[in-house]
Structures are given as C-alpha cells and as structure tokens.
Amino acid sequence: MDFILYEQKGAYAVITINRERALNALNSQVLDELDATLDAVDLNTVRCLVLTGAGEKSFVAGADIGEMSTLTKAEGEAFGKKGNDVFRKLETFPIPVIAAVNGFALGGGCEISMSCDIRLCSANAVFGQPEVGLGITPGFGGTQRLARLVSPGMAKQLIYTARNIKAPEAYRIGLVNEVFEAEVDAEGNVVKSAKEVLMAAAEKMAATIAKNAPIAVRNCKKAINEGLDAKMDDAIVIEEKLFGDCFETEDQKYGMAFFLDKNKEKVKAPFQNK
Ligand code: CO8
C-alpha cells in the first residue's frame, strides 16, 4: 500500500490516509487501497476502527482535483461511483468507524467523514463542500449525507455557498460530536498537539466500544442505519429482529448472568464475540 497505513491495536485498528504532500486528497489509488484495507480487516479480532489523515494539517482535502480535471461525463460518473462504493462500505461496515478529523475535511474529505459513525475533530479542523466553486456537485454522498446529518436547510446553505466552516461551527450544527484543543502548559507551550489529543480521545473511545458485547454493538449499528432509512413501523421491526438476534449468544448469556451474580468482587471477563 502506498497511501494507506493500517495498525491494529488490540481490539481496535487505526486506518490512516497517508498522502500528506497532497493533504491526503483522494485519488483512485487511495480509494482502491482503502477499499482493499477494509476488505482485509480481521473482523474476528477488530471491533472498532478509527479513520484519520496523516499529519497535523489535513484529514482529507477532498477528491483529487488534478485527476478529476480532465474526466469526461462517463468517467466523472464512474469516479463518483468509485468513491460512493467505498464510502458506503465504510457506512455499512459491520463494526463502528470513528472519523478523527485532523484539519481540512473538504469536499470528499467532509463526505468520507460523514460515512463514519462518529466524527471527532481537532480545533484546527475545517469542514466544507467547496464543489460548486469547482463546477461540480458534492459527488461522494455530500448532497445526501449532509442533509441527513444536519438540517436540509443548513446543508443547502453550506453546499450552495461553498463556504468552509471551522470546528466550533461544525460542532454547533451537529456535524461533529466533540472538538479537541492542543494541551498547553502554564507558559503556553504546546505539550500535546490537537491531533495528539484528538487521537488519544478517538482511540480511547474505540477501546471503550471494543470492550462491549461485539454482536450487540454491530446490531446497534445495523438497527440505527437501517432504521433511519425506513418508516417507523418498519424500523421497529428491524430493531426487534436485531434485538432478538442477540439472545442465546454467549455474550448475552454471560453479560446478564454477570449482572445477576451477587458475587460482585469478581472481574467481568472480556466479551468473546460469540
Ligand atoms: N486535490 C489535489 N491536490 C490537492 C488537493 C485536492 N483536493 N488539495 C490540496 N492539494 C495539494 C495542492 O495542490 C498542493 O500540492 P503542490 O504542493 O504539489 O502544489 C498541496 O496539496 C498543498 O496544498 P496547498 O499548497 O494548496 O496548501 P494550502 O495550505 O495553501 O491550502 C487548502 C490548503 C485550503 C486545503 C487548499 O489546498 C485547497 O483549497 N485544496 C482544495 C480543497 C477542495 O476544493 N476540495 C474539494 C475537492 S472536490 C471534491 O472533493 C469532490 C468530491 C466528489 C467527487 C465526485 C466525483 C465525480
């Protein structure tokens, strides 16, 4: 892999888009490598993913403008499909994916973060859909996911104006769950960069998720995602099936037996994904 780093850390793994000289812009090769990386995740041992960009400055500064500049209509549509397929794979990936947004998340960068379950960002993060300024639409899911994540009116405002927003505004409109500042000492020297603080928080969250019953966590992701696309009458049936699916698993039997056990001094054993 030239542009993707993959590191498993116990029960979670960190995927880093590693094309720093182009601010981690997504060209076809990056998308192909990300796709292959997702296919290779060992779902027997990995229970949560963190997705980030290399360096301190940029998460992903969009789709590669150089590569897109000469595309025909058919090639443009095919490039859109390539991105959409990988982003949809992330969105429907069996385990949760946390986007750790370190800096620019523009165009395809904002869009890939919206395919993740949870967005956390550093204080220097900048979000935006600048596509109409380049003569195209947000074609990696931006017109769809931004309108679902924030309000349709706010999504339209951001997309039509192509205005970038900084981390506090992204937080205010609900695009990110939390913003992380650099850690400074009493003299104002940076002890830990915002990216370091962000990664520590994202990895801590991933480890926390990875400790919970894996089948239950997966079923929650499926229930929320599939339920949001359904009418409420159908959505609660989706929930019921996924709820029922947890019963008779070893993790459900153990988790409940542990709670009911009066001998509370003993340490809870790790869930087994069974
Ligand atoms: N594509 C290709 N290269 C990029 C991109 C990009 N999106 N962003 C940055 N780079 C490159 C620059 O060309 C530059 O390369 P070089 O050093 O070889 O000249 C290097 O990264 C560093 O960038 P800058 O010198 O521009 O760094 P600055 O700190 O001055 O500026 C910015 C940082 C503000 C992030 C600036 O780089 C920028 O505006 N980048 C483009 C942001 C953008 O418009 N992104 C949206 C792209 S369109 C998109 O994502 C569409 C998605 C849907 C596709 C659907 C397909 C059909």
Is there an atom of ligand 1 within 6 Å of 180 CB? no
CATH number of the domain where residue 250 is located: 1.10.12.10
Quick check: 5 pLDDT over 80? yes
Residue 62 alpha carbon, nearest atom of ligand 1: 50
Length of the chain equals: 274
Question: 118 CB contacts (<8 Å, ≥6 apart)?
Answer: 96, 97, 98, 99, 177, 205
Q: Quote the CA–CA distance of 119 and 116 in Å, as a whole number.
A: 7
- Which residue in 131, 196, 203, 250 is the catalytic one? 131
- Same domain flag for 36 and 145: yes
Using a 10 angstrom Cβ sphere, with 0-12 exposed, 13-18 middle and 19 or more buried, the burial of residue 216 is middle
- Same domain flag for 94 and 219: no
- Which residue in 111, 178, 196, 248 is the catalytic one? 111
Both structure tokens of 36 = 């292959």
Is there an atom of ligand 1 within 6 Å of 13 CB? no
Q: What is the pLDDT of residues 84-137, one digit of tens each?
A: 999 999 999 999 999 999 999 999 999 999 999 999 999 999 999 999 999 999
- Same domain flag for 158 and 100: yes
Give the residue numbers spanning the domain of 99.
Answer: 4-210
Cross-sheet strand order for the sheet of 165-166: 58-60, 104-106, 126-128, 165-166
Is there an atom of ligand 1 within 6 Å of 133 CB? no
Is there an atom of ligand 1 within 6 Å of 25 CB? yes
- Residue of the CA atom closest to atom 10 of ligand 1: 22
67 is catalytic: no
- Same domain flag for 218 and 244: yes
Is there an atom of ligand 1 within 6 Å of 134 CB? yes
Decide: 120 and 99 in contact? Cβ < 8 Å. Answer: yes
**Distance of CA 62 from the midpoint of ligand 1 (Å):** 6
- Same domain flag for 199 and 239: no
Q: What is the pLDDT of residues 152-196, one digit of tens each?
A: 999 999 999 999 999 999 999 999 999 999 999 999 999 999 999
**Distance of CA 186 from the midpoint of ligand 1 (Å):** 36
Question: 46 CB contacts (<8 Å, ≥6 apart)?
Answer: 8, 11, 12, 13, 95
- Same domain flag for 180 and 218: no
**Distance of CA 24 from the midpoint of ligand 1 (Å):** 9
Confidence of residue 266 (pLDDT cuts 50, 70, 90): confident
- Same domain flag for 167 and 264: no
pLDDT of residue 165: 98
131 is catalytic: yes
Mean pLDDT of the chain: 96
Mean pLDDT on 241-262? 93
**Distance of CA 170 from the midpoint of ligand 1 (Å):** 20
- Same domain flag for 141 and 234: no
**Distance of CA 88 from the midpoint of ligand 1 (Å):** 23
- Same domain flag for 152 and 250: no
CATH number of the domain where residue 103 is located: 3.90.226.10
- Same domain flag for 78 and 184: yes
Question: 257 CB contacts (<8 Å, ≥6 apart)?
Answer: none
Residue 77 alpha carbon, nearest atom of ligand 1: 57
**Distance of CA 64 from the midpoint of ligand 1 (Å):** 7
- Same domain flag for 149 and 237: no
Residue that is last in its domain, among 210, 240, 262: 210
Quick check: 263 pLDDT over 80? no
From 65, 73, 126, 164, give the residue whose CB has the most ligand 1 atoms within 8 Å, as the site to mutate.
Answer: 65
Is there an atom of ligand 1 within 6 Å of 79 CB? yes
Q: How far apart are the first and last CA of the chain?
A: 32
Phi–psi pair at 235, nearest 5 degrees: -65, -40
- Same domain flag for 74 and 149: yes
- Residue of the CA atom closest to atom 44 of ligand 1: 130
Domain count for the chain: 2
Percent of the chain past pLDDT 70, that is, above it, reads: 100
Of 173, 160, 81, 65, the C-alpha closest to 119 is 173
